[in-house]
Structure 1
């Protein structure tokens, strides 16, 4: 269905030719958007996991640390405290606000490139161009996500070593 406006109206709608709409491009575009949404969910899940890591670290260090430090400071106590600071640094890295993620398009830029330009594009051409842009955005986002994933894994390993250090301190090894 095309929209028709008066001749004096500056916001005339550009009609898309139904023959130009390629359902394959629409499908590819939808899959690209779905992939980008999946990436955004990954980032949100990692933030949730970082919050869980904060809780687990606080719980372990308050429970085991209080018991271990009641006997004074030993080598294992210092190792556990150093590991605690390492975990804390990684948590800050995980939760630091990144502004280089690209999960959305700028509407003004879309209007400028695809509608208000010299040659407005048909919907299938827009979907093709935006699907390729989403692919580039996903690659850029993935580099950040990979760094965060590695930091989370290292923090979890440090938490295990932290628990062991506190247990060794309690045991007097």
Structure 2
């Protein structure tokens, strides 16, 4: 004889609700993906440091051997702008949310009069992850824009050095 689901199962608070578990896992996977995007941008910023140093040492030395001209000053200004953008990209002042506070989780779900079941935890945590991802995305967008501008400045920097070398 088949048993009818109890109230606990029908309202989604039992510990064996696979739909909530799936949604929570997907939310965590999305947050992990965001963290990988941030780490990838940090790697790209490191590559940008190398490319900037290489291009400026190679071209700047040659261009400055003839003295300082307009294009030399433009290239130096672009070099400082790239440096500022790299500092913005790499300084750890951005407030990412990739983790939960364990003390808060213990207080909210374990230490109370009635400890929460796993399924009762999945829903609020998945919604919290969604909010954290939205906040992270705003930071990531600003960093991505800064990286794109820095790359554009690197191309203009190389062009300025080449114009300085050409004596234009």
TM-score by length of 1: 0.87
Q: Does 1:116 align with 2:111?
A: yes
What is the distance in 1 between the residues matched to 2:114 and 2:124? 14
Partner of residue 84 from structure 1, selected from 79, 84, 87: 79
Partner of 2:58: 63
Residues 14 and 119 in structure 2, CA contact (< 8 A), matched pair in contact too: no
Match of 1:22 in 2: 17
Q: Deviations over 1:27-84 (max 9, x none)?
A: 0000000000011111111111000000000000000000000111100000000000
* Residue in 1 that maps onto 2:46: 51
4+ residue runs over 6 A deviation: none
> Could you tell me how far 1:116 is from its partner in structure 2?
1.2
Deviation at 1:121, TM superposition (A): 1.9
Q: What residue ranges of structure 2 are gaps of 5+ in the alignment? A: 1-8
Aligned residue for 1:98, secondary structure, equals coil
The reply to whether residue 152 of structure 1 matches residue 147 of structure 2 is: yes
Cα pair 2:78 2:156 within 8 Å, conserved: yes
**CA distance, structure 1, for counterparts of residue 25 and residue 80 of structure 2:** 44
Q: Are residues 1:127 and 2:122 paired?
A: yes
SS of alignment partner, residue 97 of structure 2: coil
CA offset at residue 99 of structure 1?
4.9
CA RMSD of aligned residues (A): 1.6
The count of residues paired between Structure 1 and Structure 2 equals 158
Alignment match of 2:138 (pick from 111, 125, 143): 143
Of 63-72 and 109-118, deviating more is: 109-118
Shift of residue 109, structure 1, vs aligned partner? 0.8
If asked which structure has higher relative contact order (CA below 8 Å, sep 6+), I would say 2
Tell me if 1:38 matches 2:33. yes
